Structure 1
Amino acid sequence: MKLDVLAVGSHPDDVELGCSGTLINEIRKGKKVGIIDLTQGELGTRGTIDTRYQEAADAARIMGVSARENLKMRDGFFVNDEAHQLELVKMIRKYRPEIVIGNILEDRHPDHGKGGWLTYDACFISGLRQVKTEYEGKEQERWRPKMLLHYIQDRFFEPDFIIDVSDVWEQRMESIKAYKTQFHDPNSNEPQSYLSNPEFMEAIVSRARLLGKRIGVKYGEGFMSKKSIGLTGLDALVLRET
């Protein structure tokens, strides 16, 4: 299956928190979108590996993604080395996306930055003819996405551009709330965590409102790119009164 967009997250729920609105936008336009989770999130304070898989599947269904896979790297301890890069290269070559969206390159959680740089390096290496990989017993052809973007996570960085996600906001939030064990639940007996604080979800909404205000809409998602963004002409700009 060839995908138009492949989103990568260090943990299940990274993609939902960072760019699910943008993915839903693309899916509504008829694009094929997939998700790769690098780890199973096994070090999370709340929930289990089994509940995380179920929650990830529920979120994928809500968003309408075409594929979701988990590479089962070690939560908290994976590194950006050859072995891990090649595992992600196999996925990039399998799905041949035009655009990859990955973790931010620096963040509160070390796995986010590691995942971002791992994705950055894998996207480049995937395009090298001399790097050989096999999937299901067959040699893969090289593939380099045309664009790699990074979604903003816990720490705020000035985005290179902002996507309007106002029309899909409720669906976006439903995909995030699919991770029931991770967020605030007054009936839960599990230990409190950074994510389960009720103010965490309020911060998610506030961030989206702030970014939306920047472009004159209700809700937005911000992205960064180490590559310059090119436009085909002025018509590609969304114009608003200043």
Structure 2
Amino acid sequence: MKLDILAFGAHPDDVELGAGATIAKAIANGKKVGIVDLTRGELGTRGSAEIRDSEAAASAKVLGVVARENLGFADGFFVNDRAHQLEIIKMVRKYRPEIVLCNAIDDRHIDHGKGSKLVSDACFLSGLIKIETRLDDADDVQAQWRPKVVYHYIQWKNLEPDFVVDVSGYIAKKTEAILAYSSQFHDPKSKEPETPISSKNFIDSVNYRARDLGRLIGVDYAEGFTVERFVGVNNIDDLI
């Protein structure tokens, strides 16, 4: 299955928080989108890996992605090495996306920066023909594939975006996808310990960040992304 966009997140819910509205808009416009979670978020204070598995499936259904996979890397302890890069390469070659979205380049959680660099490095290596990978012990060697672009969404820290996407009309869908992770976010009835993301202020911040980025480009809502390389456009009027 060839996808237009493949979004990676170090933990289930990273993609939804960072790029949920962008993904919802892309799907509404006919794009095929998939998500790959690197870990099951098993070190999270609230919930469990099994709960987050079911929440991730529910969230994927809300967004309408055509595929979601979890690589089962060790939460908090995965590294950017050959073994982990090869697993990312297998996903990139399996889905052959034009665009890859991945974690923030710098953030509060150490897995976010690590995941960002791991995915970015693997996307480059995926284009090298002499790196051979096989999917699920298949006999056939996967064909090399390098995405056209890798974009990094923004998470906890207020990084300055290199570009923003108008996502007006898709914030409600993003919020619904986020709240599918009911174990993680604000619930006044929950007996779970409080965490930095379980407060009402955190959920509100997702909305007001999008409103503020939208304000800066004259729309209702926007999501921001950073890039490692120059981004080109076909025509000057592609910019708004």
TM-score of the alignment, normalized to the shorter chain, above 0.5: yes
**Corresponding letter in the other structure for 2:19:** C
Residue 234 (structure 1) shift: 1.7
Matches within 5 A, 1:71-220: 71-136=71-136, 137=138, 138-220=140-222
**Corresponding letter in the other structure for 1:183:** F
**Corresponding letter in the other structure for 1:93:** R
TM-score scaled by length of structure 2: 0.98
Separation in 2, partners of 1:205, 1:158: 17
**Corresponding letter in the other structure for 1:30:** G
**Corresponding letter in the other structure for 1:225:** V
Residue of structure 2 aligned with 1:223, choices 219, 222, 225: 225
Which residue number in structure 1 is paired with residue 51 of structure 2? 51
Whether the 8 Å contact between 2:171 and 2:207 is mirrored in structure 1 is: no
Residue 105 (structure 1) shift: 1.2
- Helix, strand or coil for the counterpart of 2:47? coil
Q: Deviations over 1:102-149 (max 9, x none)?
A: 001111000000000001100000000111100131210100000000
Separation in 2, partners of 1:165, 1:58: 22
Residue 38 (structure 1) shift: 0.1
- Count of equivalent residues: 238
Residue 235 (structure 1) shift: 2.2
Separation in 2, partners of 1:59, 1:21: 12
- Root-mean-square deviation (Å): 0.7
**Corresponding letter in the other structure for 1:25:** K
TM-score scaled by length of structure 1: 0.97
Unaligned runs of 5+ in 1: none
Separation in 2, partners of 1:118, 1:159: 20
Separation in 2, partners of 1:201, 1:218: 18
Separation in 2, partners of 1:117, 1:4: 21
Runs (4+) of structure 1 exceeding 2 A deviation are none
Q: Deviations over 1:19-53 (max 9, x none)?
A: 01111111011110000000000000101111101
**Corresponding letter in the other structure for 2:174:** R
